[in-house]
Amino acid sequence: MAVSNSEIAAIFNEIADLLEIAGENPFRVRAYRNAARTVEGYSRSMAEMLAAGEDLEELPTIGEDLAGKIREIVDTGRLRKLQRLERGVSPALAGMLRLPGLGPKRVKVLHERLGINTQEELEHAAEQGKIRELPGFGAKTEAKILEAIRRHAGQERRFLWHEAESLGKELLHHLEQARAVRDVVIAGSFRRRQETVGDLDILVTAGKGTDVIQCLHDYDRVERVVSSGETRSTVILRMGLQVDLRVVPAVSFGAALHYFTGCKAHNIAIRTLGVRKGLKINEYGVFRGERRVAGKSEASVYAQVGLPYIEPELRENQGEIEAAQKKTLPDLVTEADILGDLHMHTTASDGHDSLEAMARAAQRRGYAYIAITEHSQRLKVARGLTAERLRKQCDVIDRLNDKLRGLRVLKGMEVDILDDGSLDMPDDVLERLDVCVGAIHAGFNLSRKKQTERILRAMDNPHFNILAHPTGRLIGRRDAYELDLERVLRAAKSSGCAIELNAQPERLDLDDSACRLARSIGVPLAISTDAHSTAQLDYMRFGVAQARRGWLEKADVLNSRKLHSLLKFMQR
């Protein structure tokens, strides 16, 4: 069975987790994390590239050592390095990193001081009040840990959207080879672009004699078949993701796609509108009595209840039906509206491609501008720039701009916001920049009041332009820090700052509801990739999808503006 990119990435991420708990060099940890991102986000299969004799060392973040490890995983399905680490550190300990308030150092303390090896032992220690007695923890952290354990107990495993996409894309390609298949579409929460996905709902239309059900069962990543029939089947993939496949007639395809895309509350609201018009709406079509009057397309379903087509990202029963009735649905932003990217890193700090390579990649995407925003000096693990190194990089950018055509490289920096709200770079240096992106990388445990005031003080600096990854969350791994977000958004509006929607797939920070709040207040959002390689510039599509879930239009997005308008905004 061929090993997928997602499986290789999962092994690298698990190694990174175990290395963190073991207290290994953070640069080694970062190398595995970056390699996992590269592999999972790559458009081609690592296994196929190796079979074709291609050199993986040419990929960003993949050197000779990691290329060898990828080959070992592809050849054997496992990695000896991971097996050695698991003998020293239990994988259950690594799983604790996904609980808020528990970083690798704390997990290590819990293991060494209390002998905790499993989540069950962690829960028992919290209930007994033993965790609060450890240095660096306290009663508040103990309560958060216990709350998180109970909140996640019994919940289904969920996958980040981009993980599900990687698995789904390969499966769709496989199913399209089945006999007489016409349409193959993933519906459900995946199609609504939710941040995490519990399973994949796949709809298929096919002619007579199709073998698509058997084709699904023959897929080499299927671990077991849960159920099977003539028109439907449920399987579990090796990575643990459940797949539900249904074969539907073409005449019902639109109705089925609407029904299985959801969400449930949206569907119920549409069916209720149908009842008022004497219609019955289900996955087979729209019926007046026994006669089918619509259902071949989704648009025909909506038309029967007097509504325009509603985009899948909006179907959460959060006002989209009322907006459709009033003809005030947003004209959602698209990738084509994005004219540049305002947050990325190069080899000058912790990026993996040169300044010119990032610029050339942006040119190929058709961008009019990009901002190079290296980390500032406080973030030593990312080789943050000192004032002198930043000045030199500004000179390099000026020289690059002299020879570029059609793309402007803006001078910027991702400046750390210190605990007191000051910025990690002198004002006389910030003056030379086109873009100042402020970010928090430490001090996540401040109180709501102190964290909010810290950010407000930072935004008071006239050189501050964009607040990066505003809530600090990592989906499923770290909760957002305590913050009065509405107060921050209103302050940004009054001071002329923008807020970032960070498109890194494990961040997607802001979430959709916060995007809607920002839109209602009138704060422009910058959809930025925070790219650390040329390949990660493709993360823009994740950010745009999140923006669409947040009802954002082109006018709400800072980097949909032309260069002169953007630069005018930056001049506070």
State pLDDT tens for residues 26-74.
Answer: 888 888 988 888 887 676 889 888 999 988 888 877 888 999 999 999 9
pLDDT band at 113 (very low <50, low <70, confident <90, very high): confident
| Phi and psi torsions of 386, nearest 5° | -80, 170
CB contact at 8 A, 310 and 318 = no
Residue 422's pLDDT is what? Answer: 96
Residue 111's pLDDT is what? Answer: 84
Percent of all residues in the chain with a pLDDT value above 90, rounded to a whole number: 67
pLDDT band at 264 (very low <50, low <70, confident <90, very high): very high
Residue 415 has pLDDT above 80, yes or no: yes
Residue 156 has pLDDT above 70, yes or no: no
Question: Per mean pLDDT, which range of 121-135, 291-305, 454-468 is the poorest?
Answer: 121-135
Please state, in angstroms and rounded to a whole number, the distance separating the CA atoms of residues 534 and 357: 7
Residue 563 has pLDDT above 80, yes or no: yes
Q: Residue 272 is which amino acid?
A: T
Please state, in angstroms and rounded to a whole number, the distance separating the CA atoms of residues 378 and 425: 9
Residue 368's pLDDT is what? Answer: 98
Quick one: angle between helices 64-76 and 5-21, nearest 10?
120
Residue 509's pLDDT is what? Answer: 95
Residue 45's Cβ-side half-sphere holds a number of Cα atoms within 13 Å equal to 15
pTM over 0.75: yes
Question: Per mean pLDDT, which range of 122-126, 305-309, 332-336 is the poorest?
Answer: 122-126
CATH number listed for the domain at residues 5-152: 1.10.150.110
User: Structure tokens of 5?
Assistant: 């990119």
- Tell me the pLDDT of the chain averaged across its residues: 91
Collapse the DSSP code of 537 into the 3-class scheme (helix H, G, I; strand E, B; otherwise coil) and give the result: helix
According to CATH, the superfamily of the domain at 252-325 is DNA polymerase, thumb domain (3.30.210.10)
> What's the rounded mean pLDDT across residues 87-99?
74
Residue 419 has pLDDT above 70, yes or no: yes
pLDDT tens across 168-216, in order? 988 999 999 999 999 999 999 999 999 999 999 999 999 998 999 999 9
pLDDT tens across 348-358, in order? 998 888 999 99
The yes or no reply on domain 159-247 and CATH 3.30.450.40 is no
| Helix (H), strand (E) at residue 159 | strand 159-160
Residue 355's pLDDT is what? Answer: 95
Residues 6+ apart with CB under 8 A from 377: 384, 385, 386, 387, 424, 425
pLDDT tens across 454-465, in order? 999 999 999 999
According to CATH, the superfamily of the domain at 335-570 is Metal-dependent hydrolases (3.20.20.140)
Residue 89 has pLDDT above 60, yes or no: yes
Residue 101 has pLDDT above 90, yes or no: no
pLDDT band at 291 (very low <50, low <70, confident <90, very high): very high
Residue 154's pLDDT is what? Answer: 57
pLDDT tens across 518-541, in order? 999 999 999 999 999 888 999 999
User: Structure tokens of 472?
Assistant: 């600090």
Question: Per mean pLDDT, which range of 7-11, 99-103, 283-287, 394-398 is the poorest?
Answer: 99-103
Please state, in angstroms and rounded to a whole number, the distance separating the CA atoms of residues 89 and 287: 59
Please state, in angstroms and rounded to a whole number, the distance separating the CA atoms of residues 93 and 82: 14
- Buried b / exposed e over 241-271, threshold 16 CB at 10 Å, is bebbbbbbeeebbbbbbbbbbbbeebbebbb
Collapse the DSSP code of 559 into the 3-class scheme (helix H, G, I; strand E, B; otherwise coil) and give the result: helix
Residue 318 has pLDDT above 60, yes or no: yes
Question: Per mean pLDDT, which range of 59-73, 253-267, 408-422 is the poorest?
Answer: 59-73
Which residues in the chain are classed under CATH 3.20.20.140? 335-570
Please state, in angstroms and rounded to a whole number, the distance separating the CA atoms of residues 311 and 324: 11
Residue 426's pLDDT is what? Answer: 94
pLDDT band at 441 (very low <50, low <70, confident <90, very high): very high
Residue 98 has pLDDT above 80, yes or no: no
Beta pairing, strands 285-288 & 291-294:
antiparallel
Would the CA dihedral through 203, 209, 210, 214 be positive or negative? positive
Return the top range by mean pLDDT from 5-14, 175-184, 473-482: 175-184
**Residue whose token pair is 């407000």:** 456
Percent of all residues in the chain with a pLDDT value above 70, rounded to a whole number: 98
Residue 472's pLDDT is what? Answer: 94
418 vs 134 pLDDT, higher one: 418
Residue 100 has pLDDT above 70, yes or no: no
Quick one: angle between helices 26-41 and 161-175, nearest 10?
30
Please state, in angstroms and rounded to a whole number, the distance separating the CA atoms of residues 457 and 452: 9
Which residues in the chain are classed under CATH 1.10.150.110? 5-152
Collapse the DSSP code of 245 into the 3-class scheme (helix H, G, I; strand E, B; otherwise coil) and give the result: strand
